Amino acid sequence: MTLKFGTSGLRGLVSELRGPPAFIYTAAFVRMLQDRGSLKEGSKVYVGRDLRASSPEIAQLVHAAVAGAGLVPVDCGALPTPALALYANSENAPAIMVTGSHIPEDRNGLKFYRADGEIDKRDEGDIVQIHAGMKDTVPPRSPVEPARLGAEPSRRYAERFLGFFEKGSLSGLRVGVYQHSSVARDIIVDILRGLGAETIPLGRADHFIPVDTEALRPEDVALLKDWAAAERFDAIVSTDGDSDRPLIADNDGIFVRGDLVGAITANVLGADCVVTPVTSNSALEHCGHFARVLRTRVGSPYVIEGIGTALAEGARRVVGFEANGGVLLGSTVEKDGRSLPALRTRDSLLPILCALSAIATTGRPLARIAADFRFLAGASGRLEGVPSENSASFLGKLATDAAYADKSFAVLGGVANIDNRDGVRITARNAEVVHFRASGNAPELRCYVEAEAQSRADELLGWGLALGRAQILES
């Protein structure tokens, strides 16, 4: 069974999620809220989905489980995850998003939101425990007809940005929008045009494409460069499948790393504290733009927890982000009489608009804006089809066997430091960084590296993936 909670929601093979599992996990989520007194009979639960072929069927099972608990399922249709979260939060109601985010189409998942935001790790544990006691539950044979909401959540989501960024603020920019199968592919175009940008849709797909903003496919890298070479763009933008993570490329079609996009966003918004996982670039502490950098484990629940810590310790304007580019606005931002309320869930549109705003405001290309942060060159990749137990064995040896780690990293001068907060992040004696961690969403071993030059980072990533592959094959 592949179904499990990862860094953001429940994920697994469609064949294992479809049917009783989707129904029972949803029933366990609403039961948890009912047991805590957060839901009363007749309360609404908002349900959205991405554009995967399996998502409508799974959404029907979610509707049935909600109705079976004496609650009212409200179908919000296909919309971005942050749009669903924003709307449900404004209505003081829970929400469920049917999405597998960036993972392949043969997989899917569920993201659960309490009325006050994303579920946390304690909630995940409670859902799993309740689920274990409901394993014999059978979904009804007849589909449930949910209430239907229409486009209101997406409209409110668009108004969030159109009301904060000044009208015409992106005038003069020419932006390509890589639409593929992103559930936000139309709303991005509408918002950018609403702010004055000339917007050109690109690469719209009629089937699901697993765009991973943390590890771009070679096809996506080639597309971005080809589009940039064929036409003049100030930037090319996109998102992952459920649109909670951005993809941004500069005028040459070169992808801008997610943690760098997060740093640009935080700087545009005037953050005095950024909260980000250990996988984000080491230069954040030294770039001079932020008074404080608070590091966490990978995953939005940990970033949200870190945002709470930062606010409790006196930070006034907090922006959280992950290396995959998802930005969480930890506190309300006021600017020129306009307000952008906090939204503590990953969002793709805010970083896209902040990056474009930086270009429009400074008149400088995105590559030069990015260079101001003095990031070390980075690269990330993954080994697919690696069972979690194999990853655990490799990571465990690196973390606990100093002689093994030093021997493995001998070509880099050996090991200078090991950080075990999430996976194994090794700083070698030559000052280069190689970080291994098992994916929380799929059977993958991820590798992140940092070096002085991009050519060296790419070389180092190849070396790291080869090391992982060799050691895992031997185990």
Token digits of residue 136? 């014999």
Rounded to an integer, what distance in angstroms lies between the CA atom of residue 279 and that of residue 299? 10
Whole-number Cα distances in Å, 460 to 131, 217, 395, 433: 43, 18, 18, 9
CA-CA-CA-CA dihedral for 401, 403, 407, 413, to nearest 10: 110
**Nearest residue to 341 via CA among 24, 87, 42:** 87
Q: Is 391 a catalytic residue?
A: no
Residue 408 and residue 467 in contact, taking contact as beta carbons nearer than 8 Å: yes
Residue with tokens 């997989």: 107
Sign of the torsion formed by the C-alpha atoms of 223, 228, 229 and 232 = positive
Report d(CA 158, CA 3) in Å as an integer. Answer: 33
Helices (DSSP H) in 372-431: which residue ranges? 388-400, 402-408
Parallel, antiparallel or unpaired: strands 333-335 and 338-340: antiparallel
How many beta carbons lie within 10 A of that of residue 463, not counting itself? 17
Beta strands in 194-352 (DSSP E): 198-204, 235-239, 246-249, 273-277, 292-296, 318-321, 327-329, 333-335, 338-340, 343-347
Catalytic residue, chosen from 55, 101, 280, 380, is 101
Residues whose CB falls within 8 Å of the CB of residue 225, separated by 6 or more in sequence, listed in order: 252, 253, 254
- Gap between the Cα atoms of 127 and 16, Å rounded: 17
Helix (H, G, I), strand (E, B) or coil at 49: strand
User: Where do we find the tokens 């709470």?
Assistant: 308
The structure tokens listed for 193 are 């045009």
The CA-to-CA distance between both ends of the chain, in Å, stands at: 22
Residue with tokens 């933008």: 237
Question: Which residues, listed in sequence order, are joined to residue 58 by a DSSP beta bridge?
Answer: none
Cβ–Cβ under 8 Å, residues 87 and 157: yes
Catalytic (active-site) positions: 101
